[in-house]
Structure 1
Amino acid sequence: MASAPLIFDPRDPDVIQRPLETLLRLQTDDPVHWSPVLKGWVLTRHEDVKAVQMNAGISADRLTPFFESQPEGEQSRLRDLIRFLNTWVAFKDPPDHTRLRSLLNKVVTPGVMRGLEAGIEELADGLIDRIAARGDGRFECISEFANPLPASVIMDLLGVPREDMDLLRDWSMLLQPFLGNATASDDKYETGRAGIVAMADYFRAAAAERRKRPRADVISHFVSLEQDGQISEDEMLGSCILFLFAGHETTTNLIGNGLRALLANPGEKARLAADSTLIGSAVEEMLRYEGPTGAVVRVVKAPFELRGKTLAKGDRVFAMVNAANHDPEIFETPARFDIGRSPNRHLTFNHGIHFCLGAPLARSEARIAISRLLARFPNVKVADEDVTYMDTLTMRGVRAMWMVTG
């Protein structure tokens, strides 16, 4: 008897926990896969995912067609959510993408990144000191370390008080299921709207204060762009929200996933302990092996053929980045975690015009955070292998991860 055709169903709890098992089967048997569940194409080959990231005939604006396809009642619930998210450079095509990206490039410069490293080290050491001072030998890695470190850096850059971190994190988490294409969350539209409206109100108040008393921070920079007529008020608020959300979410998951992979491979952990100069390539392997980017979503603007399949205008495309990063045509023994892997042509930070603006900062934060934690707690271990991954198709990370200091 013929076996039933493989269907990628991201609602399946087993797929949420272990998506690569299904995606790598698709990579072999059906690399351009139509998922009736997602109502879109699922691409798993490195060559195809990279081509999507580079293809001008595929649009990054996945929100406008989604919104326009909804009935009037749903549109009213989604209106505020789409209003602000549609200002994000990540969802823009040229020429709007070019205009906004050029403005953002002036905020996150290499010089700014280099100037942050001493502060990141201080933050990492402070968080580790707090864990050590408790004296119980246990800590929850995500909430006590992986999240507050990049969140604090971004809040300092924005110029908002660190005391507001829990508030802003709660609002970001409300937005996470919608942005992450959660498939098992029933209320992601309403929670996403609540989160983004709260953040817009918060940054609107901060912007009003900067108009009276400008500072040397990112909010003041965005306000000055608005006052000069280079961006609209919605773009100013949306850019603040993007800076906050994207500036810590990816790095949180990079640190959490990266530590988990390293500690599951004690030989590679020992290799890093013996040669600390490998930390840079170790972070690159963490980005490849189980990176924080599960997928990028695009919309076909002009029909084209791919591996014998026709992708029609308006079709959604789910380019599965973590699957592409395990493609044996590109990576030798891709299932092996190798901190010295070279070359390492992973696609985690995207490719082409949508290459991640914050990639240098994320890499720096991960290098510092992981090396500092291992230096203080050389025998650190994951306390419980039974972790729960977030129901987010485009993001990959655990909700919580308890560790023991050894």
Structure 2
Amino acid sequence: MGDVAPFTGLAGRLRAAGHTVTLATHEPFRSLVEALGLGFVPIPGDLRETLERTVDGGGPRALARMFALARPLVAQLGAGIVRAVEQARPDAMVLSTLVAPLGYQVAEAFGIRRASVFLQPVHPSREFGPVLAGGRSFGPYGNLALGHVTFRAVEALYAGTIRSLRRDLGLPRTSLGALRRAQEFREPMFHGFSPAVVPRPADWHPSLRVTGYWWPAASPDKADKRLDDFLAGEKPVFIGFGSMAPGRGPELAETVVRAVRQAGVRAVLQAGWSGLAAADGDDLLSIGEMPHEQLFPRMAAVVHHAGAGTTAAALRAGVPAVAVPRLADQPFWARRLHRLGAAPAPIRLEVDALAAALREVTGNPHYAARAQALSARIRAEDGAAPVLDWLTTPYR
């Protein structure tokens, strides 16, 4: 959800400016997109199945496993993007991180202008380590070198599909290096996060822009008397892991419940894809789907997996976090929250570690103060405006 919902907000802003917008994403998100009055075209892939087989962490082993699982998905995406373009017949394409390397080829074949809309700072920089490898810093030169190594590894993941796609589209055969030089910085790459959270690196190419967040389209207020009654007591913490750990709800619940009671806090548990839930009581309430913008501002803190979307939602609400990252870009965002002072150090999901982090984040007002200061800054930004400006400029 965190990889799709921000684009519903961006799409809504584009539509409000007079554009007809179609969102191409995976089938499980059809109802979300169509309920907002946006066009929908499905693209292949079952991310639940992929996530069930991933390895925790942001190190080389986890990255290699993630790439191995992603390869079949990437192989399906090329033809899916072609079908989406043939159905929607767009004048412009805005491409997310997952589809951009393939979308560039489709845009070339159809003569469509395109830009990138990324939720993570994936391009190499001296200022931080590679996001997909966890974001740990190895110093300026180490960060840049490892960033290029990771970037080339991602390029290799797409290489076979790019070659097949170009052949099928009647495009000339060329090397990946030549394609990179011709396509990478031809049009802007917009990054939908706040410069207050990740300042734009000084060594990035001018086409790489940091815009501010693209907030998900507002949801109708969702009434829940059980939740309202529970919130009448001492402010609880939120605990939920979104799309992570599908099917591991009972295992996660045992750890979470023990930690909550050890820390002496009250908690709202959200099921997500894992099915996280526990028996309701004075200190615990289990809920299903509820928009983050309606839930997070009512919490004392938010325990989450540090995905890009959930990280943004907690910061927007001005609520401190406990980050429990699992894979991909999550360790990067978890470290970033700690560095910004809006969260304790990231933890693994273990009883003692979670209980200690809950006591720290709720007992030290510094975390809430930093989260509230960041919220004020990011709410003042208009992340969609640069994308709208690009659409109104003449196509080269």
Class of the TM-score when normalised by the shorter of the 2 chains: under 0.3
Q: Which structure has greater helix proportion?
A: 1
TM-score normalised according to structure 1 size:
0.27
Does 1 or 2 have the higher relative contact order (CA < 8 Å, sep 6+)?
A: 1
